[in-house]
Every structure is written in structure tokens, then in C-alpha cells.
Amino acid sequence: MENWAKKITIWYEKNKRELPWRKDKDPYHVWISEIMLQQTRIEAVLSYYKRFMKELPTVKDLAMVEDEKLMKLWEGLGYYNRARNLKKAAIMVMEKYHGNFPSTYEEILSLPGIGEYTASAIASICFSLPEVTIDGNVLRVYTRVYEDSCTIDLAKERKRIRKNLMEIVPQNSGDFNEGLMEIGETICIPAGVPKCSQCPLYDECLSRKNKTSLNYPVRLVKKEKPIEYYTVFIFYYQDYFFIEKRKKRGLLYGLWQFPNVEGFPSTEEIKRYSRNLGLDIVKIDKGITYTHVFTHKKWNMKSYYIEVSSKNIEQSSGVFVTEDERKKNYSLPGAFQPFQRNFLERRKKEK
């Protein structure tokens, strides 16, 4: 293993991609990139990262940013609690560490929203501490190299693999960790046949020799995600449509949304719902249906486009906005964006 640790760092130095957060080892830059990269591929993150850094270039800026602006900067990345925890952690860095990012693994791990993986990445990349990062890419490379048939979803197996890698982590631990992740991202890919001829671990890899690469890693069989049913209402007046802040605790709490109810109400129930909002209906049209997949559940949604007689409404948690205003000031989670796009397309055709 010590031999292939050296191969990884040499390969990484020659083949690493030029990424904005790799230009320096500023822990703020690495931290933001690592949080953004959770559940998201590098190609998708680049534009978000650049925009985020332009608006919030320092940890102090992040600690002081208004929640609405933060959510807008995060729009499209999903998992919005990541953004909320970023701000909480930034406040903690300012108050407890006087604006200086903590430099030990334990201190980094104590920040809100930072787990073992992110703490290890920051500690090794920014402070050259002998820590190992364990993510899906690393687990895929490891289990293929050793034809390790453990179930990687089990914490005890991830802990075992981390222990094994900790025994060989070199002095340049950051390059080692980034190299392993880079191999998993670009060569030992999760979908499709791995590009074994380009891999620095070509000679060591048992699954390559035995043509068993696609058997690894072994995962637990995923349970079918529970489905929840909702009806979404797009109330509009001329070029304005109505959005409100989500009050229900839990998923998407505090974010902007189109009004919605559980289940599929009747026409009379829709009219009653509209009256309760203080809106007079002009006409109701059926909209699209859409199923949005979250990590642990699915939302099966149908929609109605409802023209109203006025945009004057006494609704403290909601507002009528144009699309330009919405783009500039209000974040709309991905679960509701298909309805928005379809609504705008329909309005364009009507004109």
C-alpha cells in the first residue's frame, strides 16, 4: 500500500485539474468547495462557486450575509441546510476563533455542518495534517483495487478502510487525498467502464486483473422511497405570480415556494383555498404533473395555473412578483422550478 500511495501523489501532481479552489490552500475556499461538492459533481459546482466567492469572498462576509441572499446564492444546489450550516459555522469562526479558520481536525469537526470527510479534507489539504478523506470515490477505488466485497454503506467498513489508509498516508496528505478522489472522479468512474489504462494503480488493481471492476463497490439494496402527493397552485395576475415562504418544518423549510396542499383537492376545495388567501379566481387551467426525487422521499405533484383578478393581497408570508424580480431576489427550490418554467412558456405562447 505504501507503494501505491506514492504513485497516487506523483500521478496527482502531473494530472490534477485546474480548479479555482486549488489555486491556494485557503481553508475558506476549500471548505466552501467541499460543502458544495456534496451530492454534486464538479462540473455543476464551478459556476456556483465562482458566484458565491464573488459575493462572499471572506468568512466574515458569509457570517454577516442576510439569509435571503444566502439562499439565493445557493439556489439550484439543493440540500439547503448545507447553506444554513455554512453561515452558522462562519459565525462560530468569527466569534470563537476571531475570524481565523481553526487548524486542528477536532476544531474543524466541531463546526456546524462539517463531518469527518470535510474535516479530513480541510485538515489535510490546508494544514498538511495526516488525515484521510473517505467518500464514494475513495471507497470505489479502494474496493476495486483489493476486490474488497464489504458493504461500503456500513459505518464499520468505512471505519476499517479509513484505518487502513491512515497507515499509509504520506506527508503530503492533501495531495494523497485529492489524488484518490480525482482518480475516482475521472478514471475509476461510478457509471460505466473504468479507464484502467490511465490509472496509476494499474498494476496493483485486482479487479482490473480479474475483470471484476463493475462488481465493486458493494452497496446495500436501496429501499423504495415513500411517495407524498401534493397539488401546486400558480396564482397569477398579468405578468405577476404569487410565491410564499414555506412554513412547514422540515424539508425546504423557510424557502420560497408556490402555494401547495397535500393530496389532490376538488375544484370547490381549490376555490375555497383561494378565497382563504384573499384571491378572486378568474379562471383555472390544469398544469403539468411532476415527480421530484429527494434523498429519502418523492413528491408526486400535479398543478393548476389560476388567474386572479388582482395582485393586491393581505398575505404577510407571500408576494406577487415578476420573473425578473423572482430571479433577482427570491430562491425557488428545484421541486417547484418545472412548474415555473412551464407556466412562463404557456404565458409566452398566450401573448
Q: Where in the sequence numbering do the catalytic residues fall? A: 34
Describe the crossing of helices 116-127 and 27-37 by its angle, rounded to 10 degrees. Answer: 150
**Which one, of 166, 132, 161, 162, lies nearest residue 148 by Cα?**
161
Residue 238 C-alpha cell reads as 398579468
Give φ, ψ of 57 to 5 degrees: -75, -15
- What's at 34, amino acid-wise? E
Do the beta carbons of residue 175 and residue 9 sit within 8 Å?
A: yes
Task: Find out whether the peptide bond into 130 is cis, omega within 30 degrees of 0.
Answer: no
Do the beta carbons of residue 177 and residue 221 sit within 8 Å?
A: no
- Cα 106 from Cα 232, distance rounded (Å): 45
- Cα 135 from Cα 288, distance rounded (Å): 37
